[in-house]
Structure 1
Amino acid sequence: MAINILIVLAILNAILGTYMLNWAWKQIKPIRDQDEARDSQFPPFRRTDLKNWSLFKFYLGAITVLPIRFVLGAWVCLVLFIFFKIVCIGHSFENDAPVQGWRKRVIAVAYKVMSTLLLRCGLAIKVDYKYVKYDYSKYLGSDYLKTQKFPNNISTYVSNHVSWSDIIVFLNVKQPAFASKVELKRIPVFGFLCQALGCIFIERGGTKEAKDYVIHQIQERQEAIEKEGLYPPMIVFPEGGTSNGVSILPFKKGAFASFKAVRPVFLRYESAGVSPAYDVMPFLPLYMLQCCSFNFTCTFTELPPFIPNEYLFKTYAQAGKENWEIYADAVRDIMVDVGQVKKDNSSQMDKIKYEILLGYKKERELKKTE
């Protein structure tokens, strides 16, 4: 009897997995139908892994593990939600008050455990951690190690942004807070998971006032972390969005406007099949293809803290450039060197233009960003 039930479940699993893969495959037809004249205009956002795709291998994953892995992701979120609700009984999140004491430690451990489960069983991503003692003397002067002074707590990690999986990887290695859209706070389950972690919710907009307010929010959080350590360190993806990982885009002002110390991180994914890069592929099809695949590796390369000084600003001064830009460019150059990738001056608006050509977004999305 038990064997018969298992056989029926296996058949249902295979049928559901096949249906899910067929749906995902249909959704990414604009990407599969390569057009070099179109795609070559957007080098940091085009797919670089199409030659490695094998529909046969995707089907093998679909009929065996796709539905199970897909459900596992939802299960992890639900378990964390229920657990954190219990842990946070008696704590008020009014005005985004941070979780402290034993609650903070328990939440960090829970994120570590559940992200490990999700990475290994749900996404098959192996994380390799590396610490590189990078020499910053080119940017900070030969005696920078003797003169630099750091706060008790480094407030900010800055990293290149390749995939939605970056968040899971960071939760596994560092358990930092994130700068999230304020809309996420209103989404059931996810909003509370972000609150428990101590995320900062920012109101993004196209006006100068809105952008200035975002910078103000980030600076306030940086100061709170440095002086009091009430919140966990914050991760900022200064490119402002994801790319295909072959280059690093220009950095935005947010993390650098306060001239506080940052800790650079470079993420690199390797896979024989589909890349986890969240470039222009829609989220659900990408997640499903990842769930059909095996043997991903993410190398997490952490560098020493970097804090700007007068040597940097004088040596790299350029007409028309503000000091925050000099700071951001130095960190970007360092990450390019560590990752052995290129610099590309495309913007997230270029990505939206590409998505419009692929049929994934409408013209009005571009107007919202301008």
Structure 2
Amino acid sequence: MGRGPLRAARRVELYLRAALLVPLRFVAGMLLLVAYYLVCRVCTLFVDEVAEEGRPRLRGWRRVAVVRAGQGLSRAMLFVFGFYWIRETHRSYPNAEDVHQGQSEELELPGAIVSNHVSYVDILYHMSVSFPSFVAKESVSRLPLVGLISKCLGCIFVQRESKASDSKGVSGAVTERVQEAYQDKNSSMMLLFPEGTTTNGDYLLPFRTGAFLARVPVQPVILRYPYMMFSPAWDSMDGARHVFLLLCQFVNYIEVVRLPVYCPSEQEKEDPKLYANNVRKLIATEVLFIPLPKI
């Protein structure tokens, strides 16, 4: 649905859903967004932003309030979008003896969550569970409501990868934050989409190395969106049209596969590309059984 002509019956059904569901869901979603903005506004009163990072450093009750409210309201927003149930599966690696992880010797906490990127809904799910920081366009920080929220999330705002000697660049900033999260359990983990773009979820594109430069363990999380009429995967459609059609569906589905923390071997620590490729291959071929495109 949404990518070709509809039969008359389907068109009438779409109009009815648009009239009944979209206004209610839009209003509910805006109320949730404003509510969380107000929480963030109160919690950032009298708190200065860190100039180099462009975000307020929240501690104590401020941090707790932002995280708890963010998790609860993100789950409520998913409900508004029609994701009433979320099926989560915790999987082990089928061929654990072939994967160097070191879980038996040390219980490692991940420095980053690595996830496939299927839809803008991915962010809401991860916020509702782990409340991580992530990389966002610099323009997001200036948006009404969303700008302050993204700063409280601890997003890294980027315009382009800088090669200047006085700048760490995007990769350097991400690596620093991943290492910080790994060393300090009170810091937010980074959420990274190593594919670099959204896909339809049927393939796993080659991973970029940014998530693996810090040489620390990562938490693989895989998202899938089963559907009957309209796919929540945002791969080629205009954003506004996609949101509209998603809101028109009575029920949307999301399935989550959470894998054990992947601890890199010494060889993988020295070769981020090898580390990235091994995690990708493990997820695609041994866990999800999806083909790897030859690119």
* TM-score computed with the length of structure 2 as normaliser: 0.88
Report the Cα offset of residue 239 of structure 1: 0.5
Deviations 1:239-261, CA, capped at 9 Å, x for gaps: 00101110010111110112111
Q: For the structure 1 residues 32 and 126, does the alpha-carbon distance in structure 2 shift closer, same or farther, using more than 3 Å as the test?
A: same
* CA distance in structure 1 between the aligned counterparts of 2:71 and 2:213, rounded to whole angstroms: 31
Paired residue for 2:4, among 32, 37, 43?
Answer: 32
Q: For the structure 1 residues 330 and 163, does the alpha-carbon distance in structure 2 shift closer, same or farther, using more than 3 Å as the test?
A: same
| Aligned-partner SS, 2:179 | helix
Paired residue for 2:103, among 145, 149, 154?
Answer: 145
In 1, are the aligned partners of 2:47 and 2:57 still within 8 Å (CA)? Answer: no
In structure 2, the partner of 1:283 is: 239
Q: Verify: 1:261 aligned to 2:217, yes or no.
A: yes
Report the Cα offset of residue 121 of structure 1: 2.5
Q: Verify: 1:126 aligned to 2:85, yes or no.
A: yes
Give the gaps of 5 or more residues in structure 1.
1-24, 34-49, 314-321, 347-370
Deviations 1:201-233, CA, capped at 9 Å, x for gaps: 23324x766997111001111122122334311
| Aligned-partner SS, 2:103 | helix
| Aligned-partner SS, 2:123 | helix
Report the Cα offset of residue 282 of structure 1: 0.9
Paired residue for 1:343, among 261, 280, 292?
Answer: 292
Q: Verify: 1:227 aligned to 2:175, yes or no.
A: no
Superposition RMSD in Å? 2.7
Q: For the structure 1 residues 149 and 118, does the alpha-carbon distance in structure 2 shift closer, same or farther, using more than 3 Å as the test?
A: closer
Q: For the structure 1 residues 209 and 280, does the alpha-carbon distance in structure 2 shift closer, same or farther, using more than 3 Å as the test?
A: farther
In structure 1, the partner of 2:60 is: 101
Deviations 1:276-306, CA, capped at 9 Å, x for gaps: 0110111110100011002221111111111
Deviations 1:185-211, CA, capped at 9 Å, x for gaps: 122211110111222223324x76699
Tell which deviates more after alignment, 58-67 or 160-169: 58-67
Q: Would you tell me which structure has more helix in proportion to its own residues?
A: 1
* CA distance in structure 2 between the aligned counterparts of 1:104 and 1:111, rounded to whole angstroms: 10
* CA distance in structure 2 between the aligned counterparts of 1:77 and 1:63, rounded to whole angstroms: 22
In structure 1, the partner of 2:72 is: 113
Q: Structure 2 matches for 1:185-196, cutoff 5 A?
A: 185-196=141-152
- Work out which of the two has the higher radius of gyration on C-alpha atoms and give 1 or 2: 1
| Aligned-partner SS, 1:255 | helix
Identity of aligned residues (%): 27
In 2, are the aligned partners of 1:93 and 1:195 still within 8 Å (CA)? Answer: no
* CA distance in structure 2 between the aligned counterparts of 1:326 and 1:125, rounded to whole angstroms: 39
In structure 1, the partner of 2:276 is: 328
Q: For the structure 1 residues 147 and 165, does the alpha-carbon distance in structure 2 shift closer, same or farther, using more than 3 Å as the test?
A: same
Report the Cα offset of residue 308 of structure 1: 1.1
* CA distance in structure 2 between the aligned counterparts of 1:334 and 1:77, rounded to whole angstroms: 37
* CA distance in structure 2 between the aligned counterparts of 1:136 and 1:202, rounded to whole angstroms: 37
| Aligned-partner SS, 1:62 | helix
In 2, are the aligned partners of 1:155 and 1:234 still within 8 Å (CA)? Answer: yes
* CA distance in structure 2 between the aligned counterparts of 1:276 and 1:85, rounded to whole angstroms: 31
| Aligned-partner SS, 2:223 | strand
* CA distance in structure 2 between the aligned counterparts of 1:288 and 1:204, rounded to whole angstroms: 30
In 1, are the aligned partners of 2:224 and 2:254 still within 8 Å (CA)? Answer: yes
In 2, are the aligned partners of 1:139 and 1:330 still within 8 Å (CA)? Answer: no
Q: Structure 2 matches for 1:153-302, cutoff 5 A?
A: 153-205=109-161, 213-302=169-258
* CA distance in structure 1 between the aligned counterparts of 2:159 and 2:13, rounded to whole angstroms: 42
Paired residue for 1:306, among 230, 244, 262?
Answer: 262
- The one-letter amino acid of 2:98's match is K
In 2, are the aligned partners of 1:148 and 1:307 still within 8 Å (CA)? Answer: no
* CA distance in structure 2 between the aligned counterparts of 1:145 and 1:304, rounded to whole angstroms: 9
* CA distance in structure 2 between the aligned counterparts of 1:281 and 1:76, rounded to whole angstroms: 26
Give the gaps of 5 or more residues in structure 2.
none
Count of residue pairs brought into register by the alignment: 288
Tell which deviates more after alignment, 111-120 or 90-99: 90-99
